[in-house]
Amino acid sequence: MNDRNIRLLNAKYLGTNSPTDVIAFDISGPGGYLCADVVICVDRARANAGIFNTSLRHELYLYAIHGILHLLGYRDRSARERKAMAIKSNRLLKSFLVK
């Protein structure tokens, strides 16, 4: 997904007319199983890899984890929520990037 297309999704579904790094859509039905779409913006990942001196792979994994955590109920609206989510994201990210 590129900046333009994720901006359109962000505006349509979340009411924010700007690009974002990841959007998670919970499309689960009855039955208790999680079914979802996690949409990742490669343009944002590439730009942030340069800004934060990380790899594109690192950013893509981070966004996937972030989206999945939202689907599991984590929120990031307050500073406290962002901190808790960042700690969990970083722990999970380390396990994915270990070779």
Q: CATH number, domain at 50?
A: 3.40.390.30
Across all residues in the chain, what is the average pLDDT?
Answer: 93
- What pLDDT was estimated at residue 98? 65
| CA 11 to chain CA centroid, nearest Å | 16
Q: What is the pLDDT of residue 70?
A: 95
Q: Is the pLDDT of residue 99 over 70?
A: no
- What range defines the domain where residue 70 resides? 3-97
Interatomic CA distance for residues 40 and 82, integer angstroms: 19
Percent of the chain clearing pLDDT 70 (strictly above):
98
Q: State the total domains in the chain.
A: 1
Instruction: Quote the pLDDT of residue 73.
Output: 92
pLDDT at 68 over 80: yes
pTM for the full predicted model: 0.89
